[in-house]
Structure 1
Amino acid sequence: MTPVMSTANLLDPITADAGETHFSGLDHWMQGRTLYGGASALIAYTAVTRAFPDLPPLRGAQIAFVAPTGPEMELRREVVRQGRNVAQVRSEIWCEGTCALTAFWLFGTDREPNALHDAAAVDEWPGAPEEAEPAMHGKGPAFIQNNFEILRAQEQQGPGAPVVRRWARLTERSGLDPVSELILMGDVLPPGAMRAMQRQGPLSSINWSFNLLDSAPATRDGWWLAETASQHADAGYSSERLRLWNADGKQILDGMQCVAVFG
């Protein structure tokens, strides 16, 4: 699988200035009629960090996928409040006069810990990615086939417990900092509700919120263990927990998502 252009090139049009921005070569990042959620979230995040380069490390975000995102975007961002330790920043993507994505980013400096404990170890550790078999080869949306390597990380296939777990990494990571890589990776798997659907149909992410558990995330050879797990599904929606671990089993990202379940 060879990307049409490097992942870093996706971000080239973004400058420190707000306003109209044209993105080319997005075909391999599309998911249906909209840009893949991780890519649009990364654009919104990069718009913030290039406008405000002195922000402390990212700690968390709330992102709403409001409408389809295309190549012609208006990028907006503003510092809502910057205190001694914490800065909160809003960014938006507008397309064709409509807000397509709105995000709230939380940045914070390191402080001496008062509460201190590690995240729980991953249940049913699948083994190292070097030992895993390929998954989703020739399947899934074009953005996965063009930009990601996916490996199996659970025995289950098909219907059953509403959990999807895979090893994943970007095929092209050069020029991308680790936090940007995680934002691009965080929404890569289909929702866990996929395994509980009574009939096939589309699913669509509505929002995504996450906390970063490490301000300097790192892993081995780009591999991250990704998991989506439906906590509750009914009335056409699923509440999902999204998590990422590094190749040594350390949890790096903890998130939640609301997904629309159609069909």
Structure 2
Amino acid sequence: MERNGGFSQWLRRRVRAGAGGGTAERDAARAREDLLLAAAESGFPLAPAAYPEGYGCSCVRIGCPTPGHHPVSFAWQTQATTEPEQVNRWVTSQPLANFVTATGQNHDVLDVPEPAGRMALDRLDAEGVATGPVALSGGDRMLFFTATRGTPEDEDEWWPCELDCHPETMAEHPGLRWHCRGSYVLVPPARLPGEGREAVVRWLREPVPGATLPEPLILLEALTDACAAHADDAADQEATAPWPTR
């Protein structure tokens, strides 16, 4: 299901070419920079984010509820940029930082539970529907990057949706979340508290600079159906469990 695009193949060639004369850390830093610059070139506005320190967070907040998941600056919406020079400065000066991409400017993100995302991908592939970039976040959420509903000059043209998600409403959207104006998601590569593949944000289908993102409504039916099926499966499992699961 995971696709390795031309950019991924080029990146692996670049890493292999430098493997003889550089350290693993230098190669990893170069790969991180390449992925972030490719995201910026694809139109995803980036801003620096906190990163995990052990099972805590690099921010100064005691008992941070979302370690490694949030922007560093309260001005992240105006700070976010696709300018490669600025992104490169951040990447090189903050080698441990995660990055968020601000949604609702150039793109939106449809965010679903990982099992539902896998189900939807199978259906969309079978129907021949192009998904665009897809990321796996922490092993439990899947992120579908789409075109945005935009920020119209006339607010009467803005249509709200019950699925709209903002950082402070994440807990209210356990199923499908629609990240649009005023929201953000971590962009790969990013690290989360913990170890292994469950503690990273990584691309399943990488962005291709210059490619057109899919309209969100084209993916929405498959994603909502998959989320409903996932919720039914979870309810069935809970009903047959020998003890309460929550």
Which interval holds the TM-score relative to the shorter structure? under 0.3
Higher strand share: 1
Q: Could you state the TM-score of these two structures normalised by the residue count of structure 1?
A: 0.26
Normalising by structure 2, we get a TM-score of: 0.28
Select the structure that is richer in helix: 2
